[in-house]
Amino acid sequence: MSKFIATAVIRGSHQVVNHAETSLKKAISEKGKDLKFEFPDTAFYLPFYYAITGKELKTLGDMEISLNHAKSMLSAEPDDKSWLPYLGEALDAGIATLFAEEIIEAVRYIYGEEPAKEADGFTYNGFITDTILRDLGIQLVDGRMPGFAAVLGAAKDSKEAVKVIRQLQERKILIFLAGETNGNSVTKQLRQENIDLGWETYIVPLGKDTISVIYALNWAIRSAMMFGGIKKGNYKDILKYTLDRVHAFALVLGELDDIKWTTGAGAISMGFPAISHSKVPEIKPNGVCRYEEVVWEPDIDKIVDKSIEVRGLKIEIEKIDIPVPYGPAFEGERVRKEDTYLDIGANKTMSFEYLRMKNMDDVSDGKIIIDGPKIDEKEGLYPMGILVEVAGRKMQKDFESILERKIHHFLSEAHGVFHMGQRDMNWIRISKEAYQSGFRLEHLGKILHARMHSEFPAIVDKVEVMLITDEAKAKKLLVEAQKSYKERDERVAGLTDETVDIYYSCTLCQSYAPNHVCVITPERLGLCGAYNWLDGKAAYEIDATGPNQPIKKGRIIDSVKGQWEGVNEFVYNKSNQAISVFNAYSMMDNPMTSCGCFECIIALLPEANGVMIVNRGFTDMTPCGMKFSTLAGSVGGGNQTPGFLGVGRLYLTSKKFLLADGGIKRIVWMPKELKEQLKEGIQKRAAEAGVPDLLDKIADETVGTESSAVCEFLQRVNHPALTMEPMI
């Protein structure tokens, strides 16, 4: 590292550590050492400090430990390796900076100053919760989000800011915004241009100053413990994990100052390089990290591609011949009523989408037909049916629903197109802005044609799209579509674990949790909720060497626990020989492992002789004495943890739900919202189990989140679990 930079880094570090010391002292004198503090919805205390040292800082007084640690790192002689980590003087100063920044933000939270607000009420994101990390889990591993960029400072003007951000969005990179340059910032510039900010559009403003970058860093570092199963305090492996698996980088617009330098040095220790638009003196590589460098890219049009090159990201940009930007970052954008040019469906007009398989000869690839009036010639509300016909040598009837379900993503990823719902309950809007850019009805067809090919190259050879705007014709087709929707539902409902010989694996999450294998059966979907058995089957057809492989069940060992010879063997091999026995229907005896993306967690409640279930998104306390975030910490990481299980939501209403442990009658507590969502399914299964009023006997947060209150309630309603045989 050049002398110039090392000096700036160390100078900045002293500044930040002093800042932390002043604010912590003030907080302690005003609020006392014993004041408890927790960032919102996390099980990782002060996550950065926790990851590096393993220490749980729970109070203001505890934060002095981290502060003193940071101070000692700055005062130590270069050859004094008594403190951790030792990465070289300037990089350690960077780590000390991050310790201190975490304290500064914690104290700000205590004083209600975070998340930061602008005068007009606009609120920054602030701390990033565990829930968000888990929510994004699959997207991080399946390539939908190939990387993260922390964009610091401000661009030359707001147009330039938009240009850079759009490039990142089109490349599906998640963007964090922080810091400012001379009172201006990219956040402010994007707001000036009325750009939608938020998780849906991949643009997350963290805070006003550079210090808020710590939110992105103490978020990234959690993934090592949450998904990688690396133990807290094992800082070497943790930093290696962030280097190898968290594809982040910083993009610095505007001048660099000492605080940016020193925060950047901390990020570099995690393996995240920085690419700067303003000139930087050369930095020589040094030490354990791959990127001990800040790269200068003077051409603003090239800065995004340069960053991708430096960080070594693999990104494919979808090239579709339409006049608006395209990519998943635009999926979450809404089109407001006043901005709408074409409005279709929304329960106001007849609207549906239907995909069917055809013979090769009956489909002409790329043909797009508009059957009926050209509704895109005049603004308004219209009926329309979308018919997609596909043919392919490996196409199967079973895949129709999978391809059809993708219509939502495909259409809504176009900037200015809003799509909601599915089948005969969809809603499409095209914005005035998109219309003015030249977007017409036929472009919907172009998108569907292009994406069906790019997403399903192995099963789709030909795609034809018909947009039926003639209401009478559309109605006629709707009858056929509805018949087909019904047939598909019946077919899926009829699939059971017994009626098939092949299950499917999913090892997509192994890039995060190296020993985790999801075994997907017709009656138990992947724990993230995103892959069911049919999806697994289709995915295997699409990519025979991909993460979804067929598993021959083989000889059955135990039909109640759900254990098969072939499955055991497969799991053993694919879990790096970590798991040798696997039961699909038990949470007590060799259960499935969890990566971290589970929709729900089931936990044993011994005192109730049953189980409680909590869904991701429910952030309050639960009767087992842990919040979702804490529970998740003990379930994830690819280990078998009897008594705890991560599952997909729909498994809760499966006939195979905890078959070996007593089934649905074991459920004694779940959040009200989850009860509502699954009401129909639970009632059906409960009736089959001979307890038709089970739903009313399941406690929720309105009964209590204390185990004693729950038990009292269970006694009162005579819950069936109380008289079942003991779970342990």
Q: How far is the CB of 227 from Zn ion (least distance, A)?
A: 7
Identify what 50 binds: ligand SF4, Zn ion, none; CB under 5 to 8 Å per kind: none
Q: Is 497 helix (H, G, I), strand (E, B) or coil?
A: coil
**Single residue of 8, 270, 534, 595 touching Zn ion by CB under 5 A:** 595
Vertex 581, ends 575 and 584: CA angle to 5°? 95
Residues 527-566: x where in contact with Zn ion by CB under 5 A, - otherwise, as a string:
----------------------------------------
* Those residues with Cβ within 8 angstroms of residue 5's Cβ, 6 or more apart along the chain or in another chain: 90, 261, 280, 281, 283, 294
Site membership for ligand SF4, residue 527 (CB under 6 A): yes
Taking the least distance from each CB to Zn ion, the nearer of 228 and 663 is 228
Measured CA to CA, the distance from residue 728 to residue 718 in angstroms comes to: 21
Q: Which is nearer to Zn ion, 128 or 509 (CB)?
A: 509
Which residues 345-384 are close enough to bind ligand SF4 by CB under 6 A? none
User: Based on CB atoms, which residue is closest to ligand SF4, 549 or 590?
Assistant: 549
Residue 615: CB minimum distance to ligand SF4, A: 15
With contacts defined by CB under 5 A, name the span among 186-194, 591-599, 658-666, 692-700 that binds Zn ion: 591-599
| Exposed/middle/buried for residue 358 (C-beta within 10 Å: 0-12, 13-18, 19+) | middle
Q: What DSSP line would sit under 546-596, residue for residue?
A: SS--EEE--SEEETTTTEEHHHHHHHHHHTTT------TT-SSSS-----S
Tell me whether residue 482 or residue 511 sits nearer to ligand SF4 (CB atom).
Answer: 511
Give residue number: closest CB to ligand SF4. 526
**Residue 528 binds ligand SF4, judged by CB under 6 A:** yes
- The nearest distance, CB 237 to ligand SF4, in angstroms, is 22
For residues 445, 450, 454, 456, the Cα torsion angle rounded to the nearest 10 degrees is 30
Residue 530 binding: pick among ligand SF4, Zn ion, none (C-beta 5-8 Å cut-off by kind): ligand SF4
User: For residues 412 and 711, what is the distance between their CA atoms, to the nearest angstrom?
Assistant: 47
655 vs 496: CA distance, rounded Å: 9
Specify whether the CB–CB gap between 157 and 67 falls below 8 A: no
**CB 87 to ligand SF4: min, Å:** 32
Q: Is 138 in the site for ligand SF4 (CB under 6 A)?
A: yes
Candidates 578-586, 589-597, 640-648, 714-722 — which segment interacts with Zn ion by CB under 5 A? 589-597
Q: How far is the CB of 597 from ligand SF4 (least distance, A)?
A: 4
Please identify, using beta-carbon distances, which residue of 210 and 629 lies nearer to ligand SF4. Answer: 629
Is there binding between residue 518 and ligand SF4 (CB under 6 A)? yes
Question: Minimum distance between the CB of residue 518 and Zn ion, rounded to whole angstroms?
Answer: 8
Q: How far apart are CA 55 and CA 269, in angstroms?
A: 20
Residues 556-595 that bind ligand SF4 (CB under 6 A): 595
Q: Segment contacting Zn ion (CB under 5 A): 46-54, 459-467, 482-490, 505-513?
A: 505-513
Q: Does 155 bind Zn ion (CB under 5 A)?
A: no
Q: Of 29-37, 40-48, 523-531, 677-685, which segment contacts ligand SF4 by CB under 6 A?
A: 523-531
Smallest distance, Å, CB 246 to Zn ion? 15
Which helix (DSSP H) or strand (DSSP E) does residue 417 occupy? strand 417-420
**Which residue, 8 or 592, is less far from ligand SF4 as judged by CB?**
592
CA distance to 28, 379, 469, 500, 668, per residue, from 375 (Å): 66, 8, 7, 47, 54
- Least distance from ligand SF4 to the Cβ atom of residue 329, Å: 21
Would you list the DSSP string of 116-176?
-B-TTS-B---SPPHHHHHHHHHHHHSSSS--EEEEES--SSHHHHHHHHHHHHHTT-EEE
Choice between 638 and 643, CB closer to ligand SF4: 638
x/- string (CB under 5 A) for Zn ion, residues 213-252? ----------------------------------------
Q: Which of residues 431-470 bind Zn ion (CB under 5 A)?
A: none
**Binding positions for ligand SF4, 589-628, rule CB under 6 A:** 595, 597
387 — alpha (psi -120 to 50), left (phi > 0) or beta?
beta
Which of 597, 601, 624, 659 is close enough to bind Zn ion by CB under 5 A?
A: 597
Q: Do 562 and 583 touch, CB atoms closer than 8 A? A: yes
Partner interacting with residue 51 (select from Zn ion, ligand SF4, none; CB below 5-8 Å by kind): none
Burial class (CB in 10 A: 0-12, 13-18, 19+), 424: middle
The span from the first CA to the last CA of the chain, in angstroms, equals: 59
Binder among 85, 526, 633, 636 for ligand SF4 (CB under 6 A): 526
Using CB under 6 A as the binding rule, the residues of this chain from 472 to 511 that contact ligand SF4 are 506-509
The string of DSSP codes covering 505-539 is EE-GGGGTSTT--EEEBTTB--TTSS--HHHHHHH
Tell me how far, at minimum, the Cβ of 595 lies from ligand SF4, in Å: 5
What is the layout of strands, in order, in the sheet containing 462-468?
A: 351-357, 384-391, 462-468, 368-371
Least separation in angstroms between residue 433's CB and ligand SF4 is 35
Q: How far apart are CB 581 and Zn ion at their closest, in Å? A: 21
Instruction: Report the nearest approach of ligand SF4 to the CB of residue 142 (Å).
Output: 7
- How many chain residues bind ligand SF4 (CB under 6 A)? 13
Identify residue 297 by its one-letter amino acid code. Answer: E
Q: How many whole angstroms separate alpha carbon 612 and alpha carbon 619?
A: 15
Please state the closest distance from residue 495 (CB atom) to ligand SF4, in A: 17
Tokens standing for residue 65: 């430990």
As measured in angstroms, the least distance from the Cβ of 101 to Zn ion is 29
Of 257, 260, 242, 223, the closest CA to residue 94 belongs to 260
Q: What is the DSSP letter of 114?
A: -
Residue 79's SS3 state is: coil
Task: Give yes or no for a contact between 51 and 99, defined as CB atoms under 8 angstroms apart.
Answer: no
Residue-wise burial string across 292-307, b where 16 or more C-beta atoms lie within 10 A, e elsewhere = bbbbbbeebeebbebb
Q: Which stretch binds Zn ion (CB under 5 A): 258-266, 421-429, 507-515, 645-653?
A: 507-515
Asked if 667 and 607 count as a contact pair (C-beta separation under 8 A), the reply is no
Q: Which of 509, 588, 614, 626 binds Zn ion (CB under 5 A)?
A: 509
Residue of the chain from 531, 533, 651, 669 that contacts ligand SF4 (CB under 6 A): 531
SS3 assignment, position 102: helix
The site for Zn ion (CB under 5 A) is made up of: 509, 595, 597
Point out which residues bind ligand SF4 (CB under 6 A): 138, 506-509, 518, 526-528, 530-531, 595, 597
